Amino acid sequence: MQSTLIDYPSGFFFSLGIGPEDDTMFMHDPFKFDYAQDKIPLGQDNLQMVNEDSAISTNSTTVHNSTAPDDSASLSLNRATSANFNIHNSTAPDDSASFSLPSERGMSRAIRIQSSLDILRTGRISPVEFLTELLDVTNPRSAQFRGKLYSKTNKRVDDLLDKIVEDPMGEALIEDWFRRYGLRKRDSVSSISCGKENILPGTGLGNAQYYRLALEDFAEFRIHILVRRKHDLWTSKVSVFLFGTSNNVTRGASFLPPADNRSLMAFISQNLLTASIMVRLSSYAALLSGFASSMAAGIPTRRAMAVHDERELPVHFANAGTPSPDTLMNLKLALTASDMAGLEQTFWDVSTPGNALYGQHLSFEETKVFAAPTTDTVTAVTAWLNENGINNITTTGAFDDWLAFTVPISTANSLFEADFQNFTEIGGPTQLIRTLSYSLPVDLQQHINLLHPSTDFVRNIKGPIFRASVPGSSLNNTARALTAPSSCNSVVTPTCLQDLYGIPTTPATQASSKLAVSGFIDQWPQTADLKTFLGALRTDISSATTFTLQTLDGGSDPQAARDAGIEANLDIQYTVGVATGVPITFISVGEDNTDGIDGFLDIMNNINAQTAPPFVLTTSYGFDEPDLTSAMANQLCNAYMTSGTRGVSILFASGDGGVSGSQSQSCSTFIPTFPSGCPFLTSVGATQDVTETSASFSSGGFSNIFARPSYQTTPVATYLTALGSTNSGKFSTTGRAFPDVAAQGVNVEIVDGGSAGLVDGTSCASPIFASVIALINDRLVAAGKSPLGFLNPFLYANPTAFFDITTGDNPGCNTNGFPAKAGWDPVTGLGTPNFASLLAAAGV
């Protein structure tokens, strides 16, 4: 076997290589980092490194004109004398050191880093300088990227890249690596996993972090820097090998490295190489064991990690740069429920008419049995956080199912193998700190649903469309003029709704039959506006009728005229003004959260934690479904399901973008909205005019995350058959379909800031339909029955209790969208409510 001579038989070297981790590892030009000024006395013993498991190939390759047909990589220190060796001197006796390189496997040609040993031998660049610059220039986030590789020889990195891209596979690798993903870290069985702030400039690795030294039989220490492609893992490696026997080797040892390249190299050299001066190589195993044990004291072992969630950057966001590593992030881990499957089965049982358990909603304590995490889950996740120095942990959530903590971004990147960046909405105001992927320990994957915030890109939520003042009238004479149903084509009032849907004016009597309204983005209802509204448009009830305020996340409800909120006033005026006598609560969510998703989560945690939650919750906000990951969508959807088991009816406006969501008309496929795509709630679309046709903006369609629930099987199949090939390929034919129902949503009159005006949107329809359900619940409770709870199985079982809407469509994405048809359709759902029919179907 022909060997490359190594002029530093100290038993310690670095090796660089590129290759698929599970297939081939290429070693190139080992060179010594000698902390003792290139001079180390050598003992009289013989050591040999065995082959590198599956990383060693069986084929041969040429490296420095030396072939290595052997299938193992070995370094032999053959009874070398205690001579001093200089790295810049290439002469050495043949029996002092030999090295055989592993060859490629599974690839047509080697993707290899060009030789550097000759450059090192010239004396014009030191090993430390070489490694430092290599790490800098091979990272796309480094300021030195594609700069000079060997500054002292005036050799540019392009020369190196040219060698790599000679092979087509290498070219694809470099393109994917350098242009798209950058360096991302992953553990392997024997790796030093990297973390917090920058330790190696340009690499995204960090200082003040733990390195796991997993000692294999041949006592290998390796730093892995991995690059992930769509289907393959490629690895750029900087490997540290320490040779010795495996006897008494302590596994899982760790140490805390210094903060820069040269200090790191010196640290490793000082702690390993100089120790060999004092200890004969025959005692090296004992030295190694002692080193590992001493370094492990008080420092945790890095666990094997696996990607938990990842995504592409949404088209409407752009990277705005790297945030300061000291920026603090409020993070939360959602823990898995002890029996989510059991909770869902109970949900269907208590929500499906005809089931023996229908209407037998659970108490908080009964729900907690299913929804709370197990003690093992809480203990395991908390222990992992503690291991990594995170002790400021707060348990939150309705069932203590969230762990919240605050850490610098550098710590978050290290802990979750993430790359948190600043992102800005293109053409919009939203600014976020997010990552495109994160990892969790393999042994904790089953205990954690998600990390938040992480991979969700939710834009700032928007309010309804505020169109115009009521033409040619003052508020004082509008009420009388608008009582006639014919007026409702141009202005919709509570009286119009009572006439259209048969909504009673008789006040509710049951204090437990409460209705709650979600409020976000500094939207505050004004008591003065409500008084004016009731005094003009509901003269049959006291104008002093008001609502209860509940605040979350620093929410408030200032009452200055300048603080009036259109959405909040709309929601309150069309619940207080339609659900006569029903106790109304406005839940004001402040800005003390990470984004709109936090508010959604916090409202549900609050409601699910209540002993006596409201029977109805209406929300006039939502997102494009693609903005959320499926993990977050499922987390929220399960929260709505949990409320359903408690007897709460959850209603959401379907959205105001037709089939395009909030996207432009240029979208190539339809954009479903969320939470409307969740099968555990009721989505409300919009209609217009007295004869009722669909509002053109009414969002509807099919979820790409959630499958179609059984209660929709027949009506949706009927619609799709009637639709035929229209818009084929632009939507999922198997997803949960929405909306479920509809109500008036155009020319709805409100009072805002003391003035009358008209608003459009499904934001109008949701509180109107919620008021209908609240009044039915009041009658049910008065009759000694349970509230309706989750509505959809009941609604779809009674399609004749609706006014079917058969005209109109919801354009978007340069199409006419979906047409309304007889029966259910993805514009108006089952139709608009017939109060008397629904009440009768409910058994009252």
- Please give the pLDDT value at position 344: 97
Q: In what order do the strands lie in the sheet with 317-321?
A: 317-321, 421-425, 431-434
Count helices and strands (H / E) in the chain. Answer: 21, 38
Round to the nearest angstrom and report the end-to-end CA distance of the chain: 93
CA separation for the pair 721, 723 (Å, rounded): 5
**Domain 465-708+736-841: assigned CATH number:** 3.40.50.200
d(CA 175, CA 531): 64
**Token representation of residue 125:** 């660049």
> Is 624 annotated for ligand binding?
no
- Round to whole Å and give the CA distance between 688 and 696: 9
DSSP string, 542-606: -TT---EEEEETT-----SGGGB-HHHHHHHHHHHTTSTT--EEEEEE-S-SSSHHHHHHHHHHH
pLDDT digits (tens, 9 = 90+) for 370-392: 999 999 999 999 999 999 999 99
Q: Tell me, what's the pLDDT at 275? A: 26
Q: 3-state DSSP: the chain helix, strand, coil percent, rounded to 5?
A: 30, 20, 50
Percentage of the chain modeled with pLDDT above 70: 60
Average pLDDT over residues 803-807: 97
pLDDT of residue 664: 66
> In the structure encoding, which two tokens stand for residue 601, read together?
């989560």
Residue 800 near residue 654, CB atoms below 8 Å: no
Which is the catalytic residue, given 567, 595, 692, 778?
567
Name the residue among 789, 781, 805, 46 with its Cα closest to residue 350.
Answer: 789
Greater confidence, 92 or 657?
Answer: 657
358 — pLDDT class (breaks 50, 70, 90) = very high
Q: Which of 74, 763, 766, 771 is flagged as catalytic?
A: 763
812 is in an annotated binding site: no
SS3 track for 365-431: HHHHHHHCCCHHHHHHHHHHHHHCCCCCCEEECCCCCEEEEEEEHHHHHHHHCCCCEEEEECCCCCE
Residue 354 pLDDT class (50, 70, 90 cuts): very high
| Contact by Cβ (8 Å): 828, 742 | yes
Average of per-residue pLDDT values in the chain? 71
Lowest average pLDDT, out of 275-284, 412-421, 531-540, 689-698, goes to 275-284
Which range has the worst mean pLDDT, 127-136, 180-189, 418-427, 467-476? 180-189
Cα separation, 803 vs 254, whole angstroms? 69
Q: Regarding predicted confidence, which is higher, 171 or 812?
A: 812
Q: Is 581 left (phi over 0), alpha (psi -120 to 50) or beta?
A: left
Digit-coded pLDDT (tens) for 505-522: 999 999 999 999 998 876
Q: What is the 8-class DSSP label of residue 825?
A: B
Question: pLDDT tens digits, residue range 113-160?
Answer: 223 333 333 444 443 444 444 444 444 444 444 333 333 333 444 444
| Separation CA 402–CA 200 (nearest Å) | 34
Q: Which residue has the higher pLDDT, 156 or 427?
A: 427
Q: What is the mean pLDDT of residues 270-284?
A: 29
Q: Can 216 be counted among the known catalytic residues? A: no
**H or E segment to which residue 335 belongs:** strand 328-335
Q: Is 532 exposed, middle or buried (0-12, 13-18, 19+ CB in 10 A)?
A: buried
Note whether 654 and 683 are within 8 A (CB). Answer: yes
Res. 566: pLDDT tops 80: yes
pLDDT for the residue numbered 753? 87
Q: Give the pLDDT confidence score for residue 220 in this predicted structure.
A: 29
pLDDT, greater one: 623 or 60:
623
- Choosing from 344, 571, 602, 760, which is the catalytic residue? 571
Query: Which residues contact residue 340 at a Cβ distance below 8 angstroms, ignoring those fewer than 6 apart?
Result: 370, 371, 638
pLDDT, position 49: 27
Q: 687's torsion region: left (phi>0), alpha (psi -120 to 50) or beta? A: beta
Give residue for tokens 């290899």. Answer: 112
Please write the tens of the pLDDT for every residue from 294-320: 333 334 457 899 999 999 999 889 999
The count of other CB atoms within 10 Å of the CB of residue 123 is: 12
Q: What is the pTM of this model?
A: 0.67
Which residue has better confidence, 781 or 87? 781
Q: What is the DSSP letter of 4?
A: B
Q: Specify the DSSP class assigned to residue 138.
A: T
Which two tokens mark 326?
Answer: 């000291």
Which stretches within 14-58 are classed as H helix?
none
What's the pLDDT tens digit per position in 184-231? Answer: 333 222 222 223 333 333 333 332 222 222 222 222 222 222 222 222
* Better-predicted residue by pLDDT, 473 or 412: 412
Maximum Cα–Cα distance across the chain: 110
**Predicted local distance difference test score (pLDDT) of residue 537:** 96
DSSP track, 723-750:
HTTTTTTSS-SSEEEE--EEEE-SSEEE
pLDDT band at 524 (very low <50, low <70, confident <90, very high): confident
Q: What is the 3-state secondary structure (H, E, C) of 658-690?
A: HHHCCCCCCCCCCCCEECCCCCCCEEEEEEECC
Rg over CA atoms, the chain: 34
Q: Is the pLDDT of residue 802 over 60?
A: yes
Residue scoring higher pLDDT (260 or 729): 729
Per-residue pLDDT, 464: 57
Determine if residue 563 is labeled as part of a ligand binding site: no
The yes-or-no verdict on residue 83 having pLDDT over 80 is no
Which bin fits 715, alpha (ψ -120 to 50), beta or left (φ > 0)?
alpha
For residues 580 and 136, the model is more confident at 580
Residue 566 known to bind ligand: no
Average pLDDT over residues 37-66: 29
The CATH 3.40.50.200 portion of the chain extends over: 465-708+736-841
**Residue at 199: amino acid letter:** I
C-alpha 447/C-alpha 459 separation (Å) is: 29
* Residue 763 bears catalytic tag: yes
- Give the number of other Cβ atoms within 10 Å of residue 561's Cβ: 12
Q: Is it the case that residue 774 has pLDDT exceeding 90?
A: yes
The answer to whether 164 touches 111, Cβ cutoff 8 Å, is yes
Could you confirm whether 571 is annotated as catalytic? yes
Q: Strands, DSSP E only, in 480-553?
A: 515-519, 548-552
Q: Which two tokens stand for residue 507?
A: 């006040």
> Is the model more confident about 429 or about 231?
429
pLDDT tens-digit profile of 695-737?
A: 999 999 999 999 999 999 999 999 999 999 999 999 999 999 9
CA distance linking residue 229 with residue 373, whole number of Å: 34
Most confident of 138-142, 316-320, 336-340, 566-570: 336-340
Of the listed ranges 20-34, 71-85, 144-158, the least confidently predicted one is 71-85
pLDDT recorded at residue 697? 94
Torsion angle (degrees, nearest 10) of CA 117, 123, 126, 127: 20
Please tell me the total number of residues recorded for the chain in this structure: 844
pLDDT higher for 13 or 691? 691
Which residues have CB under 8 Å from 815's CB, separation 6+?
659, 727, 730
pLDDT tens column, 131-143: 444 444 444 444 4
Q: Please, is 775 exposed, middle or buried when counting C-beta atoms within 10 Å of its C-beta (0-12, 13-18, 19+)?
A: buried
Q: Quote the CA–CA distance of 158 and 607 in Å, as a whole number.
A: 60
* Banded model confidence at residue 595, pLDDT cuts 50, 70, 90: low
Q: Does 120 or 797 have the greater pLDDT score? A: 797
